[in-house]
Structure formats: structure tokens, C-alpha cells
Amino acid sequence: MNYSRMTSLLASALLLSTLSLSAFAAGSIELKSIAEVEKNTTNKDGKKETKRIIAKKVPPDGIVIYTTSFKNVGNKPAGNIVINNPIAEHTEYVADSAMGYNTDITFSADAGKNFASPEKLTVTSADGKVRPALASDYTHIKWTYKGELAEGKTSEVSFKAKVK
């Protein structure tokens, strides 16, 4: 994969925020999505640190961290918040990396048509056999926020993906 393809991959991945948000909360929730990579550095005291920086070019096998923050900009608590995030083309979900405080997390392996927990998710192979889905089969991640997000409050969800 050449670097111009990686750059366009990341540009489309940032737009991957073909994030959809539940219609119930759409009017009062503001979304922001970023793609970052971790970089090991040494600070001025000689201590090693890991920092996150905006992903610009990521080589094959590199890991991208996608984070979506959501803020209630309305004047009352917002409920029914659902964030549905596709896994970017040319990347694959890193197992057990999806996180989100106070959320139920489900996955899809059929382009977002059906969602389930990992142990319940299956795929059908070309020969018609059904098998448990692997993390590499996931096409979408869905976070369902439990309860209501108070006025002015922010929360976030994230996952990691490896560049193919």
C-alpha cells in the first residue's frame, strides 16, 4: 500500500463518521470524531511516554484509534443515544478494543443490518456453513447509551482498527 493510498484511507476513515445517530437524540447531540495513532516519545526528564497524535499516514499493520465524542447541547437531558460506526475500508477491527462508558456495545458482520454481542454474532461462509464471527469479520460497531445524557455533558466511545 503506498502512502497516498494511506492518506486517502485516513481521510475517508475520518469521514467514516458516516456515524449515524438515533433520530431521537439527533437534535440535541453534537458529534466529533477523530482518528489517532500512538507515538512513543521521551519527555524532557528522560521518561518514556506514549502520546496520541492525529493520524496522517499509517502504514500496513499500523493501529488507528477512532474516538467519537458526543455532547448534549440541548436544554434538557437526551436519551435514546445510539452511535453506529462502520469499520473503515482497508482496516480491520482489533478484538476487544471497543470502549464506551455507560454503553451497551454490539457488532455487525453484515454491513450494519444486524447487531449482536460477539458471542452471538455469526457469519455464513461461501459454502453456506455458519460459523462464529471473528473480530476481523466485523463491519460496524454500535454503542447504545444507557439512560440519559445530562444537559451540557459529554461522553465518548472508541475502538481500534488495524490497517490492512
Q: How many domains does the chain have?
A: 1
C-alpha cell at 128: 453456506
Over residues 58-87, the pLDDT tens digits come to 999 999 999 999 999 999 999 999 999 999
Domain that holds residue 24: 3-163
How many angstroms separate the first and last alpha carbons of the chain? 9
- At residue 26, the pLDDT reads 52
pLDDT tops 60 at residue 150: yes
Closest C-alpha to 12, from 69, 91, 67: 91
Helix (H) or strand (E) holding 106: strand 103-108
Compute the distance between CA of residue 77 and CA of residue 56 in angstroms, rounded to an integer.
36
Q: pLDDT over 70 for what percent of the chain? A: 84
Model-level pTM?
A: 0.83
- At residue 18, the pLDDT reads 46
Closest C-alpha to 83, from 66, 65, 70, 94: 70
Is the pLDDT higher at 19 or at 46?
46
The 8-class DSSP code of residue 4 comes to H
- At residue 21, the pLDDT reads 54
Instruction: CATH number of the domain at 135, please.
Output: 2.60.40
Over residues 23-62, the pLDDT tens digits come to 345 568 999 999 999 999 999 999 999 999 999 999 999 9
User: Pairing relation of β-strands 63-72 and 154-163?
Assistant: antiparallel
Is the pLDDT higher at 2 or at 95?
95
CB atoms within 10 A of CB 132: 12
